[in-house]
A and B are shown apart, each in its own frame.
Chain A
Amino acid sequence: MKAFLALIRREFIEHRGAFLIAPAVLVALGLGVAILAFTVGKADFRASGQLATFTPSIVFEVGFLGFSFGWALYLIAALFFYCADGFAADKRNNAMLFWKSMPVSDFKVLLSKLVAALTIFPASIFLAALISGGLLSAVVLAAALLGGGQGWASVAFDAGMPARVLLSYVNVAGATLLAFALGLLWYMPFMALVGAFGAVVGRWAIPLTLLLPTLISVLQWAIFGGSLHPFISSSWQFFEYRTAFPLVDGYISNWFGSGLPFDFTAFATDLLARVDWMQMGIGIVFSIGVIYLASEYRRRSNDN
């Protein structure tokens, strides 16, 4: 276990640019913009002028959820590039023989990469989302405190406001954590597939993975027919279903604009009920199988 954790740590060191430095720079930029906005008297960022006529905690919740969604998009993009690049990095960096001189199996090495993609990297981005939310809460509270009831932040600051914003923060942070965790498990087979292709063909893994559903769908259409064109086949429908994570339907779309405070419990109950757990389980088993096959390729790569 110690060796496995060390392998995950080495992934983090190798890819800290995308998962630590870049998010830190983005958060620092956000902080800089916030400070600048206060300095020049535009703390409402223009857009919040209207929004601040609502309850500040709801403005904050919408903003924090927006940030979280943005960070989730960043995470998905970074993880897919990581899987294509990171699984091939040892070969590309000419370090394969060094890692093969270590008493760890190829399966353990590749599994550590996938586990890093599911744990330490998302944790880093989640931390960035939390900091962004903290920064936003500070802006909302400061705006209410400095200009409350004066037009652009028409709801005046009151003694209970920090507690309400804190409660909102906890609710949205919890929702972000849950959405990250379930989303990562849902998309795990795609990451494993990109990673496995990455171990074989390097950076070409992303186009290859994107091409795969088309290929399967076309093959199904060519062999079995039954539809006008390949993209209304059952396999294509399955891929469409499997690439869509049911996040914004249900509670989120009902809550948005309702004026009610964001409720983590309601969000979690709704999301957990709408996740296809069977597919999730199949996806996890598929991922481990694909990583095992890639590790066997890597084990024999001197022969390839």
Chain B
Amino acid sequence: MTDLTSAVEPIVSARGLRKSFGKKEILHGLDFDIPPGRIYGMIGHNGAGKTTTLNAMLGLTSCQGTIRVLGEDPFARRAHLMENVAFISDVASLPRFLRVRELFALLANIHPNFSQQKAQSFLEGTDIRPDAKIKQLSKGMIAQLHLAVVMAIDAKLLVLDEPTLGLDITYRKRFYRRLLEDYMTEERTLIITTHQVDEIEFMLSDIMFIRDGDLILHMQMETVNDKFTQLVVNDPAHMEAARALHPVFEETRFGQTVMIFEGVDRAQLEPFGRLSTPTLSDLFVALMQRPTANPEPAR
């Protein structure tokens, strides 16, 4: 299910990426390329290996295999790489002892690609004042501030690991809208992990599903739309005929049977019920079935 074909030089390239903590292997040899100018959603259940994969990309952890970000080994060259890579790994990670203006002044000297003016402009229209102490800001305001900081960095790759965790829906929507409207360009690449997959689906160009340390799906959203079909079967008489086409997932919702098919022609499915493209969360549930986590695997 992995689409590795790419004509341009990838921003991130991993081959045989493995990571173990003690005797437990977390990543089982991932292979993938991430081309520039894309918005990637990296999706997986808790403990699937998303954060470990991101940490490997960001040089925060050493791994077996090969990983290159912007052509460099991130673990060996993290400090240099961070000139062109920005990330939010935890919304609460801003230094709480600083005031907002102190943070901006420090970053202007520490980060060669940080623009203090941009950061200030991103805060216009918010309740965050330059003299405010970060420790006195609400969680949502800290998320806004952190986003302003990373958006003010002229980076080629932005990595967001659960950036909106714990925020209410208003902040989450504002967060992603700002990101799309004020930051994304064709030259920039964005990788997001979140459990709130429905909220980011509209902005994604590509998805990666990681299950138990394996990359089980890696493709463009357009391909997902072409490849996966959701069928809602109303008539029990069609059930067996539909099952004969081997759905990857089946469940009953409000008395209706919902099936998800992979690579089955829509014309074949049309007679059995209502067709649609599965949402990311439906696809997530369908493909993330694990014998250990879910005692009722897909039929």
**Interface residues, chain A, with chain B CB atoms under 8 Å away:** 2-3, 5-7, 9-10, 13-14, 93-105, 108, 299-300, 302-303
Contacts and interface: CB of A to CB of B under 8 A. Distances in A.
B143 to A, nearest CB: 13
Contacts of A5: 109
A65 to B, nearest CB: 35
Contacts of A104: 79, 82, 110
Contacts of A96: 93
Contacts of A108: 79
B95 A93 contact: yes
B49 to A, nearest CB: 14
B60 interface: yes
B78 A303 contact: no
A122 B75 CA distance: 35
B60 to A, nearest CB: 5
A302 B93 contact: no
Interface stretch (B30-38, B84-92, B182-190, B241-249): B84-92
Given A6-B110, A102-B110, A103-B112, A14 B89 contact: no
B98 interface: yes
Given A302-B60, A302-B61, A97 B90 contact: yes
B190 to A, nearest CB: 15
B78 A13 contact: no
Contacts of B87: 97, 101
B96 interface: yes
Contacts of B62: 300, 303
B53 to A, nearest CB: 13
B24 interface: no
Contacts of B94: 95, 98
B174 interface: no
Given A93-B97, A300-B62, A105 B79 contact: yes
19 contacts: A3-B110, A3-B111, A6-B109, A9-B106, A9-B109, A93-B95, A94-B90, A94-B93, A97-B87, A97-B90, A98-B94, A99-B95, A100-B82, A101-B150, A102-B107, A103-B80, A300-B61, A303-B61, A303-B62
Interface in B58-87: 58, 60-62, 78-83, 86-87
B102 interface: yes
B158 to A, nearest CB: 10
B70 to A, nearest CB: 13
A95 B109 contact: no
Nearest to B82: A103
B101 to A, nearest CB: 11
Contacts of B88: 101
A98 B114 CA distance: 14
Nearest to B20: A303
Nearest to B102: A13
A97 B80 contact: no
Contact of A95 (B21, B58, B86, B95): B95
B277 interface: no
Contacts of B111: 3, 102-103
B55 interface: yes
Contacts of A14: 95, 97-98
A10 B98 contact: yes
Contacts of A9: 106, 109
A98 to B, nearest CB: 4
Contacts of B112: 103
A303 B60 CA distance: 8
Nearest to A5: B109
Given A3-B109, A13-B102, A108-B79, A98 B93 contact: yes
Interface centre among A6, A94, A97, A99 (most CB of B within 10 A): A97
Contacts of A299: 78
Given A103-B80, A104-B79, A95 B93 contact: yes
Nearest to B93: A98
Nearest to A7: B110
A101 B109 contact: no
A303 B111 CA distance: 26
A3 B80 CA distance: 13
B95 A302 contact: no
A6 B79 contact: no
A299 B76 CA distance: 10
